[in-house]
Chain A
Amino acid sequence: EDKVVQSPLSLVVHEGDTVTLNCSYEVTNFRSLLWYKQEKKAPTFLFMLTSSGIEKKSGRLSSILDKKELFSILNITATQTGDSAVYLCAVNTGNQFYFGTGTSLTVIP
């Protein structure tokens, strides 16, 4: 059964801290892995990863994929209160996307 598991389920940090979110997967036909940020509305796209070892970066956010060990990490440095959200990881198998249950991040001032 295809599945995507995210950890931790939730974390609370102070502004300025660095966090690492994890996403591991077991799927039969991996095409890509995507990270989304979900605040109180629709998930918004952050990154798409298809190749191992190539870091994608956008401001304070970065992500990398390890296709051998079947996981990805999302790093957020110098966190801000605006980073508070649920971060979703999804794996595309060509037929559909499998989502993890998300990591809830709360950044305290």
Chain B
Amino acid sequence: DSGVTQTPKHLITATGQRVTLRCSPRSGDLSVYWYQQSLDQGLQFLIQYYNGEERAKGNILERFSAQQFPDLHSELNLSSLELGDSALYFCASSVDRTGSNYGYTFGSGTRLTVV
């Protein structure tokens, strides 16, 4: 157990629907990062929050949004889902703003299947 908790583990939903993925960072970590991992593209950075505020944005679609709450857990909302959104979504956390000092700790991921 890495200390980063992601729920649910698996999610199957129909196209056009909306889902919420949840992540609790490791105790003491202030940064939360979201990544999308699909078979053909590897790990793609989506977005980062640090202590409740958005810090960096990657290749995140407009249909996706995220937030980090005062208790530091984060949610990734995916709407108007398409078949191509099927992927493994990882959350990672780090104690610092950039992960430069100690790297990331990853959660075990949420596997999303859009049918």
Write the residues of chain A forming the contact surface with B, with a CB cutoff of 8 angstroms.
31-32, 34, 36, 41-45, 48, 88, 90, 92, 94-102
Contact = CB atoms under 8 A, between A and B. Distances in A.
A96 B58 contact: yes
B104 A102 contact: no
A21 B69 CA distance: 39
Nearest to A48: B103
* Secondary structure class of chain A's binding surface, majority of residues: strand
Contacts of B108: 41-42
A94 B94 CA distance: 13
B49 interface: no
Contacts of A48: 102-103
19 contacts: A32-B103, A42-B2, A42-B90, A42-B109, A43-B106, A45-B104, A48-B103, A88-B43, A90-B43, A92-B98, A92-B100, A94-B100, A96-B33, A96-B48, A97-B33, A99-B42, A99-B43, A99-B44, A101-B42
Interface centre among A42, A44, A88, A92 (most CB of B within 10 A): A42
Contacts of A98: 45
Query: Which 10 residue pairs are nearest across A and B when measured between Cβ atoms?
Result: A101-B42, A42-B106, A99-B43, A42-B108, A41-B108, A31-B100, A95-B56, A96-B45, A43-B106, A96-B56
Interface centre among B42, B48, B56, B108 (most CB of A within 10 A): B42
A42 B4 contact: yes
A45 B100 contact: no
